[in-house]
């Protein structure tokens, strides 16, 4: 267990003991923001572990993730990157970086005043 994880567990224990957040920061040596973040995750019922992919680069953009994004684009190239990110449950920036850098696609979606969607994907025009 890293020192950061042990501090988060210590903060959680003190929050369970009903210790004031400002007292916790002086006891554990973390910021007040960390105390509130731990309390928020405890209240949401998700545990106090940090999300996977935090604390390093490209932990989510692995081969399986690339295959998933590539498959979603192949099935429906008109799907927005934001919607795709929500379905995969990642940050939209992760999907944009994957599409542009890893897959090499140039993605432009134009919403016209007409009820159609025009998507240009690698110089191919798709109209939906």
**Tell me: the pLDDT tens digits for 74-106?**
888 778 888 988 998 888 888 888 888 877 776
pLDDT of residue 115: 46
- 17 — pLDDT class (breaks 50, 70, 90): very high
Burial (0-12, 13-18, 19+ Cβ within 10 Å), 24: buried
Q: What is the mean pLDDT of residues 1-11?
A: 83
CA dihedral 40, 41, 45, 48 (to 10 degrees): -140
DSSP H/E element including 26: helix 21-28
Query: Residue 125: what are its φ and ψ, rounded to 5°?
Result: -90, 125
**Rg of the chain over all Cα atoms, to the nearest angstrom:** 21
As a whole number of angstroms, the distance between CA 10 and CA 101 comes to: 40
Higher pLDDT pick, 54 / 20? 20
As a whole number of angstroms, the distance between CA 119 and CA 23 comes to: 54
As a whole number of angstroms, the distance between CA 91 and CA 81 comes to: 10
Q: Which residues pair with 117 in a beta bridge?
A: 111
Q: In this structure, how many other beta carbons lie within 10 angstroms of the beta carbon of residue 37?
A: 16
Q: Which of 12-16, 23-27, 52-56, 89-93 has the lowest mean pLDDT?
A: 52-56
pTM over 0.85: no
């Amino acid at each position: 267990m890293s020192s950061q994880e042990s501090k988060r567990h210590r903060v959680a224990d003190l929050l369970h003991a009903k210790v004031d957040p400002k007292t916790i920061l002086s006891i554990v040596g973390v910021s007040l923001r960390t105390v509130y973040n731990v309390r928020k995750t405890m209240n949401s019922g998700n545990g106090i572990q940090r999300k996977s992919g935090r604390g390093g680069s490209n932990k989510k953009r692995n081969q399986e993730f690339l295959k998933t994004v590539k498959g979603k684009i192949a099935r429906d190239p008109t799907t927005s990157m934001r919607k795709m990110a929500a379905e995969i449950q990642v940050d939209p920036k992760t999907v944009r970086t994957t599409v542009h850098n890893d897959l090499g696609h140039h993605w432009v979606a134009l919403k016209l005043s007409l009820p159609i969607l025009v998507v240009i994907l690698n110089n191919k025009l798709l109209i939906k």
